[in-house]
Every structure is written in structure tokens, then in C-alpha cells.
Amino acid sequence: MAEARDLSMRLQTLADWLAWQETLHPSRIDLRLERVGAVWGRLHPELAPGRLPSAVITVGGTNGKGSCVAYLEAWSLAAGYRCGAYSSPHLLRYNERIRIDGEMATDADLCAAFARIDQARAESSLTYFEFGTLAALDLFVRAGVEIALLEVGLGGRLDAVNIIDADVALVASIGHDHAAWLGDSLDQIAFEKAGVFRAGRPAVIGQRDAPERLRARAEELGGLPLPLGQAFDWTAEVGQWTWRGPNGKGYGALPLPALRGQRQLDNAATALCALEQLSDRLPVNPAQIRQGLLRVKLEGRFTVRPGRPTWILDVAHNAEAAQTLAENLASYPCTGRRLAVLSLLADKDARAVMAPLAGMIERWHLGLAATDRAMGLEDLTGALADVAPAAAAVPHASLDQALAAAAAEAASDDLILVFGSFMTVEAALRSLIIAPV
């Protein structure tokens, strides 16, 4: 106990705590639940294992999970419910990961939570992500939230958020990503993602062509599958859309979501299905649904920064997300050229990310992210040459240089697309070229 108090005295700032957390555990990722579950039990022994005092919606998937959390948060706030939302990674500040009533956790609250977790962990080591997950859960309990939204960081079955039993679990989509941890086949990835489903509870599936194993695994676990296109669906009209849910319930004349792209209607419909499963406990009326759709915000998902030139920011970093990005880009008007600023992490499939956009970009600025996990410029240029041999590409030693070069080159009617990772979008937001909102 004295050692823990000494640590709390030495780690005075949020930056201190985060830097220390990155050195505590031998692995950046450790997909096991025993350690984090045991620490949670010691941190809040008054709670039954796997339970929070609030309603819980766990959100997983390869793509779309951040959007689903954003919709659920917007609706909960519109309805006046005290809402806790946990998501990752962040773009500009670590505090973005934990929000209560739409407000980021303060440095002081995070430091206090980390100190409590450090005392509760005893001799157990925790990863950076596990510390963050426990801090979110601890702060949600202390704030008395009525609904907790927990976004899976990696996979599902062995992700730290899965120490909590969800009242409703949602898997937005299944795609290829994190192969080293989740496997190469969609069936294996589906098995891992389905680990958030629980017996006797709704298992919402937000992908029309999801691998059959996702639904099969939900049924094996005793969950109640609700797949998009069967249990619920949407239809679009001019400037609005209609949602049809289980048991004949529906909402008509809904405004198009503030988040752009047709895929966002799948995400919104999926999130709405999850929310409706809690309607006996947390009812939301049509006016609040409409309000949430108009107010929802999520940086880095085809975020358009109007101006001359136009900047578009997207965190797309796998094949499926890149395909969605290409569809959105094709439908966005541009009278000039399309330029791209791209940086990827080394574990990504660069060819799969570049291919959907290869025929749409007139000039590529390839940058090196400021991390030892970054994909090298030789690999980036080689991948682009494979998918678009005639592409005009310029490698840059840093992302800042790539962003500055694109800005200097662009004419007023051009469009600059910044994509490839959260770090890529973060660099754009931090640069002097684009001021954060």
C-alpha cells in the first residue's frame, strides 16, 4: 500500500500515468481476461461478477463500431439519460476515450481512477488498454450512468471490455484486420468477434453478408441473433429514411444521419436495433431519434472540412473500410483533382487499402507516421506501384511533410483525402493546415 501511495505521488499528471502504463506490461496487447477481471473484482467488490449497475451495450466489429457508439451516445443524450461511452483509439487527446454525458473525462478524474486501479491490481501487471478499460468502468460506476456503451478494442472474446456481460451486444461488421491476433479467415474472425454475445440476450448483427459463423456462434452461446436484412432493415427515400425493426416496430421520415455515406444507414439502423432492445428500460421517442441523427458527431469517418481546397479525413485502414471510402468519394462532387495523403501501420495490407481508390487519385503523397509501428516508405511505394503502376506518387519522410506538400500543390478546386490510420488523421488535425473543431 505504501508503494502504491508512493507511485501516486510520483505520477502527478495524465501524461505521467500513460507513459508509465506503457512500460508496465511486457506486451502491448495481451488477450487474456483473467488478470483484468480479477483487478475489476477487487476494484468494485460490491458488484456481481460481469455486471454494471447500468444497462450495457457492447459494440464490436471490424468497421462501423465507432459510428454505432456515436449514434447510441447521441440518442441516449437526446433522451436525457446519463450515458457513459468508452471508445478507442483517440485522435487528439486520451480523454476522448471516456465520455460521460458527452463530456470527456478530465485529467484529474483519469489520474484518480488510475491510482485506484493501481492499488487494486496488487502484483498483477496490466496493459495500457486494460488500464483504460478499467478506468472507464470505474468512472461510469462512480458517475451513476444509466447506460454504458463499451466499444471493443480488438476482437471481442478476449478483449478487456468482455469482462462485462452486455445486456445487448452488437457486431457491426466482419472484415480482414489484425490477422496476427484474430486469424486470416473471416470465419475465425467472426468467432472472435462473436465472443461478446451472451446467452438469452440480443445479438445484433449489422452486416448483410456477415459470415454464417457469426450467427451460428451467437446461437451456440445462447444469444438471440438479430441480423440486418432479416430481423431489421431500412429503406431510403428522397432526403429521409425509414427503419423497420423486430416485432413490427418502426420509425418513418427519419432525417439522414449527420455522418456521411450510405454505409452509415446500415450503422444507424444497427445501432437503433440495439437501442430498441432496451426500450422497456430506457425508452426513446421518435423526436429524440431524429434529434440524435442530426447531432451525431464522429471525427475521421469521411469528415469533410469545407473550404478551398476541400479536405476529407478518414481513418480507413483495411480493405472493407477503403471500399466504403471509395464509394463515398465517388459520390462527393469535385471539379478539380483528387490528391491523397496516406500513411499506414506496418501490419496493414497496403495493396488492399490502396486498390479501391487507385483509379480515383491523381497524385499520392505517402508519409511516414511518427511511430515504430509505421509502414516504411519503400513498402508503401512498392504496394502502390503494384496496384496502380502509373500512379504519380511522392514519398515524404514524415506525415507533416506529406500534408504540407499536398496543401502547397492543391488548387482551390482540388480535394485532398487524408486516410490510412488514426495517426494519419491525427497528424492532419494537429497540423497548421487544418484547425481542429
Q: What is the pLDDT of residues 358-413, one digit of tens each?
A: 999 999 999 998 888 899 999 999 999 999 998 999 999 999 999 999 999 999 99
Q: Which is more confidently placed, 173 or 32? A: 173
Count up the domains in the chain and report the number: 2
268/318 same-domain check: no
CA-to-CA distance for 128 and 144, rounded, in angstroms? 25
Q: Is residue 436 part of a domain?
A: no
Domain boundary among 295, 312, 341: 295
63/171 same-domain check: yes
Helix (H) or strand (E) holding 291: helix 286-295
Domain boundary among 243, 271, 295: 295
Q: Is residue 122 part of a domain?
A: yes
Q: Is residue 209 part of a domain?
A: yes
What mean pLDDT is reported for the chain?
92
Across 245-266, average pLDDT: 94
51/191 same-domain check: yes
Domain boundary among 235, 263, 295: 295
Looking up cell 511516414 gives 368
Structural domain including 58 reads 2-295
12/106 same-domain check: yes
115/193 same-domain check: yes
Q: Is residue 139 part of a domain?
A: yes
167/199 same-domain check: yes
Confidence at residue 248, expressed as pLDDT on a 0 to 100 scale: 85
Confidence at residue 273, expressed as pLDDT on a 0 to 100 scale: 98
374/290 same-domain check: no
Q: Is residue 437 part of a domain?
A: no
Q: Is residue 211 part of a domain?
A: yes
Q: Are 329 and 337 in contact (CB under 8 A)?
A: no
Looking up cell 469517418 gives 301
257/201 same-domain check: yes
Q: What's the CATH number where 327 sits?
A: 3.90.190.20
Confidence at residue 316, expressed as pLDDT on a 0 to 100 scale: 95
227/372 same-domain check: no
Q: Is residue 435 part of a domain?
A: no
Q: Are 367 and 342 in contact (CB under 8 A)?
A: yes
Distances (CA, A) of 366 to 301, 317, 385, 422: 20, 14, 12, 15
Q: Are 423 and 368 in contact (CB under 8 A)?
A: no
271/359 same-domain check: no
Q: Is residue 189 part of a domain?
A: yes
373/407 same-domain check: yes
pLDDT tens readout for residues 269-323: 999 999 999 999 999 999 999 999 999 999 999 999 888 999 999 999 999 999 9
268/323 same-domain check: no
Q: What's the CATH number where 205 sits?
A: 3.40.1190.10
